[in-house]
Structure 1
Amino acid sequence: MSPGGGVVKGSERDDTPVLITAAAPSHDDEHAARKRKYMIMMGLRIPFLLGALACYQTWWLALGLIVISIPLPWAAVLIANDRPPRKAERVNRFQQSSRQIEGGNHQIIDG
């Protein structure tokens, strides 16, 4: 049967795994995503510096592009080293109640 509940016929089979848990991505996938973010941010620095070089006659524009490119390595390291936030989970903790097993007033019957 398919995940939707129907019958799977010969060539319609889907071999992709079905996610059945809310598990976090693997460490390798998380590391690859962080490396990708770092490379993109560091790659953005090159066009800013080349743009500043191309606009050297307009000093204020060249200076602005250089100023924008200065914090990019710092931001890239911070973003690449930051891990994704943890999921907010409701923790089931023991709550001790002040109730007693039996009340204090008992009717006594003499026989």
Structure 2
Amino acid sequence: MNSHRGEQPVLITSAAPSYQDQLTARRRRYALIMSMRIPCIVLAVLFAQVWWLALGLILLSVPLPWMAVLIANDRPPRKAEKPHKMTPTRRALTTAAENRSSR
């Protein structure tokens, strides 16, 4: 019956994800980026004897809050792809006699 079974699923809407889903994803991104700051500071303290490595880790951790805010506040771009929509197949109407003769 359904000739489209092996293909991509048919979308019934081209709507963007809900605001709540977007907010949840943005919060996760912010938390992930900010969680990278703590290991940088801890590693800088542990590698205090190697001053250039400690300084590099501190300098790496300084722009992380700024980057986290910018990345988290950025909404995802709208999808440029066209949704895969089901196209109905049109069949010609035939009479019962034509159906019997075609078998």
Q: What amino acid sits opposite 1:4 in the alignment?
A: R
**Structure number with higher helix proportion:** 2
- What is the alpha-carbon root mean square deviation over aligned residues? 2.6
Aligned length: 78
Q: Is 2:73 the partner of 1:72?
A: no
The aligned counterpart of 1:102 is none
Alignment of 1:53-64 (within 5 A): 53-64=45-56
Unaligned segments of structure 2, at least 5 residues:
82-103
Displacement of 1:19 after TM fit?
A: 4.5
**Length-normalised TM-score, structure 2:** 0.66
1:33 counterpart = 2:37: no
- Give the Å deviation of 1:88: 4.2
Q: Would you identify which runs of 4 or more consecutive aligned residues in structure 1 move more than 2 Å?
A: 1-5, 86-89
Task: Please tell me whether Structure 1 or Structure 2 has the larger radius of gyration of its CA atoms.
Answer: 1
Structure 2 Cα separation of the partners of residues 85 and 20 of structure 1: 20
The sequence identity of aligned pairs, in percent, is 62
Flag the structure with more relative contact order, 1 or 2, with Cα contacts below 8 A and sequence separation at least 6: 2
**TM-score, normalised on structure 1?**
0.62
Matches within 5 A, 1:39-50: 39-50=31-42
Q: What residue in structure 2 maps to residue 4 of structure 1?
A: 5
Q: 1:52-109: per-residue Cα shift (whole Å, max 9, x none)? A: 01000001100000000000000000000011112448xxxxxxxxxxxxxxxxxxxx
